[in-house]
């Protein structure tokens, strides 16, 4: 079968939805017989990204990336991120007339605007320049597609996500022993995640934060009653999900939110804002409450039957996600 090269500036040891999606995609495609390669910061010397030291930016010029791509000689090139590696891989393909696909994972303009006074129009212009020459740009949800359509992006196609049902599921034994109900947040502890909206809620129970990031030390000092458990993965993370009562997703900038599926698969209803991501994943499915008042959403979500959440989560699979990706590159990524 054909060979695929995935170019990504986001990779291990980072822990986020982009890395999880790309890692699992490779596993699924290899099971289907496809040869999958990755071009990542692990292949080059790196420096920490300003304001995001966990993210490593590759110190390489076009020659280094071209050498790697020539060595792999892939049938398909998929550029997943708009960082240094994505830039040079895009340039390589453009200069040689080689088709490539891209994917839009992160609302980078909103992330940037949360830190610096950079106009959204300028950031989106740069992203249009990056993505529009590709054969197609893959997006996870209908609302993101509509948003990017309106901003002048071309050739948008769906690529959904899945959840590992073997890892994320209810458990009889509860790992956490705090006063209930237990309200859980999982993700980066950073300003663009709007985590303070969760921490400020005036509700009974215990708020739990799993994850790390630039805001963690500050928020731990300001919210001593909140349980900050740090970064968790695999079995440890799954056991924490299964110990809680409701999942709170305060972000207004995520394009999907794999953690939403992980929570649902663990039997947790979701409380979130009615914005992109939750609207697509949760919507009116009955497995969560989406309200402008996050505390009210938590109260309503706690009334939801966990069995409803479990049944809904089973409709998402990584195999279906991989098939959708494979269909996109086969249809739109030809020289």
pLDDT at residue 93, rounded to an integer: 97
More confident residue, 230 or 257: 230
CATH value of 3-162+318-332 in 3.40.50.2000, 3.65.10.10, 3.40.720.10, 3.40.50.2300: 3.40.50.2000
Please check the confidence at residue 274 and state whether its pLDDT lies above 50.
yes
Alpha carbons within 13 angstroms on the beta-carbon side of residue 223 total 21
> In whole angstroms, how far apart are CA 233 and each of 151, 167, 226, 239?
36, 11, 20, 10
Average pLDDT for 147-163? 96
Residue 334 — very low, low, confident or very high, per pLDDT cuts 50/70/90? Answer: low
Q: How confident is the model at residue 8 (pLDDT cuts 50, 70, 90)?
A: very high
C-alpha 279 chain-centroid distance: 15
Mean predicted lDDT score pLDDT of the chain: 94
Which pLDDT belongs to residue 218? 97
Residue 264's φ and ψ, nearest 5 degrees, are -60, -40
Structure tokens at 174: 């509860």
- Report the half-sphere exposure of 118 (CA within 13 A, side-chain side): 14
**Which pLDDT does position 295 carry in this prediction?**
98
Can you give the pLDDT at residue 119?
93
What's 305's DSSP letter?
Answer: -
Q: Is the pLDDT reported for residue 247 higher than 60? A: yes
As assigned by CATH, the class of the 182-313 domain is: alpha beta
14-62 pLDDT, tens digit each: 888 899 999 999 999 999 999 999 999 999 999 988 777 777 889 898 9
Q: What is the mean pLDDT of residues 303-320?
A: 96
Mean of pLDDT values over 110-135: 91
**What tens digit of pLDDT does each residue of 286-308 get?**
999 999 999 999 999 999 999 99
Domain boundaries, the chain: 3-162+318-332, 182-313
Question: Out of 17-21, 111-115, 177-181, 189-193, which region has the weakest mean confidence (pLDDT)?
Answer: 111-115
- DSSP output for 16-79: SHHHHHHHHHHHHHHHTT-EEEEE-GGGS-EEEETTEEEEEEE---HHHHHHHHHHH--SEEEE
Confirm if 235 and 264 have CB atoms less than 8 A apart.
Answer: no
Structure tokens at 191: 């300003």
Strands (E), the chain: 3-7, 35-39, 46-49, 52-58, 76-79, 101-103, 137-139, 156-158, 182-186, 206-210, 227-230, 246-249, 270-272, 288-290
Position 12 confidence tier, pLDDT thresholds 50, 70, 90: very high
Where does the pLDDT of residue 259 fall: very low under 50, low under 70, confident under 90, or very high at 90 and above?
very high
In this model, does residue 335 exceed pLDDT 50? no
Identical topology for domains 3-162+318-332 and 182-313: yes
Averaged pLDDT, 273-282: 95
Can you give the pTM of this predicted structure? 0.88
């Amino acid at each position: 079968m054909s060979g695929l090269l995935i170019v990504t500036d986001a990779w291990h040891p980072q822990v986020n939805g982009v890395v999880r999606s790309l890692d699992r995609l490779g596993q699924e495609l290899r099971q289907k017989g496809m040869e999958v390669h990755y071009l990542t910061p692990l292949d080059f010397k790196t420096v920490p990204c300003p304001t995001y030291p966990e993210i490593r930016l590759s110190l390489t010029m076009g020659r280094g990336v071209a050498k790697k791509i020539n060595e792999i000689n892939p049938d398909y090139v998929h550029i997943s991120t708009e960082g240094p590696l994505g830039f040079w891989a895009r340039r390589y393909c453009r200069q040689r007339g080689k088709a490539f696909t891209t994917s839009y994972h992160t609302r980078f303009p909103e992330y940037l605007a949360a830190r610096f006074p950079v106009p959204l129009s300028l950031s989106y212009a740069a992203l249009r320049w990056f993505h529009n020459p590709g054969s197609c740009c893959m997006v996870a949800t209908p609302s993101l597609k509509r948003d990017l359509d309106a901003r002048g992006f071309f050739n948008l196609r769906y690529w959904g996500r899945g959840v590992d049902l073997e890892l994320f599921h209810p458990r009889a034994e509860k790992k956490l022993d705090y006063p209930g109900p237990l309200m859980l947040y999982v993700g980066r502890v950073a300003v663009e995640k709007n985590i303070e909206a969760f921490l400020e809620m005036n509700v009974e129970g215990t708020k739990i934060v799993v994850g790390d990031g630039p805001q963690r030390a500050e928020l731990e000092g300001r919210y001593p009653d909140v349980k900050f458990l740090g970064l968790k993965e695999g079995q440890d993370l799954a056991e924490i999900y299964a110990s809680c009562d409701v999942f709170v997703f305060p972000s207004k900038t995520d394009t999907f939110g794999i953690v939403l599926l992980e929570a649902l698969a663990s039997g947790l209803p979701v409380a979130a804002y009615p914005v992109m991501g939750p609207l697509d994943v949760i919507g009116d499915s009955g497995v969560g409450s989406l309200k402008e008042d996050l505390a009210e959403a938590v109260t309503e979500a706690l009334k939801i039957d966990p069995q409803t959440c479990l049944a809904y989560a089973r409709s998402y699979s990584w195999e279906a996600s991989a098939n959708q990706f494979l269909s996109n590159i086969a249809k739109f990524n030809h020289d």
